[in-house]
A = this chain, B = another copy of it.
Amino acid sequence: MRLGIVQFDPEFGKVEKNLRVALGLAGAVEADVYILPELFSTGYQFKDRPEAASYAEELPGGPTTDALESFCRGRGCYVAGGLAEKSSDNLYNSAVLVGPDGFVALYRKTHLFDREKEIYDVNDEDMFRVYDIGFARVGMMICFDWIYPETTRILAVRGAQIVLHMANLVLPYCQAAAVTRAVENRVFVAVANRTGTEDRVPDETLEFTGASVIVSPKGEYLLQAGETDEGCWTVSIDPTDADDKMATPRNHLIDDRRTELYGALVEP
């Protein structure tokens, strides 16, 4: 299958333009599964919760999901991308997975970053779900979720072959850590990051680091985008490579976990 990453510089608040740019980039290159950045259709830096609420969409439904559904319907492909979600009075930093038959799944960011804690509600559901979309079994995570090894671990334990990581990264560690996440779990890790700068909030200039990556279960970079490039790049992968969990002839990386000794991981 072909896995594609879209990296670009969304313009804050210009939903129609951002959808056109992102899907234009994606549409120019053929892939079976595309990943778009976190909050790709609105931009990242909401001034406050009411402003985020004014852009949030119900899921499914809303212009972003609709546009992704149209894109997938004609092409027989899947797209995952991040957006602000409204659900009754709640507001989440979320992502959707959409396919040729429409909406597939929703993910809500589990580990909110910095000022997001003042904007979004905390997701209290176990959203670490794995979806078999025919091409592969996939799971989703959003940006800062990466720094918690628990996120990728649970997706891998539940059978994900590819972790679709939608990001607006401002810290420098994630693209290198994607190798660790890949090798410790023997999964593909695909990070779709954005480029550009946002400085709508006083004393909060955000420089997004681009450099999107796709890493194989053996820790090889299959794709490394530039820090400021905009584009869509694809790689051809065999998702079943992620089913081989043997680090040595005697070490199955998932089965060899000593879960009976890991209680401290879930103590409050």
Interface size class, chain A: 35 or more
Q: Across the interface, which residues of B come within 8 angstroms of A115, CB to CB?
A: 250
When distances are taken between beta carbons in the complex, the residues of chain B under 8 Å from A126 are: 261, 263-264
Task: Name A266's contact: one of B158, B179, B248, B266 (CB within 8 Å).
Answer: B266
Decide yes or no: A263 and B266 within 8 Å by CB, A176-B179, A248-B114 being known contacts.
Answer: yes
Number of copies: 2
CB-contact partner of A259 in B179, B184, B267, under 8 A = B267
Minimum distance in angstroms from A170 CB to a CB of chain B: 9
23 contacts between A and B (CB under 8 A): A113-B248, A114-B248, A117-B250, A124-B260, A128-B264, A144-B251, A148-B256, A153-B265, A154-B264, A157-B265, A157-B267, A173-B179, A173-B183, A176-B180, A177-B179, A177-B180, A177-B184, A180-B181, A259-B267, A259-B268, A263-B266, A265-B266, A266-B266
The answer on a CB contact under 8 Å between A265 and B173 is no
Chain A 70-99 interface mask (CB, 8 Å, partner B; 1/0): 000000000000000000000000000000
Q: Is A202 interfacial (CB 8 A cutoff)? A: no
Residues of B within 8 A of A265 (CB): 150, 153-154, 157, 259, 262, 265-266
Is B183 a contact partner of A264 (Cβ separation < 8 A)?
Answer: no
Query: What are the residues of chain B within 8 A of A257 when measuring CB–CB?
Result: 148, 150
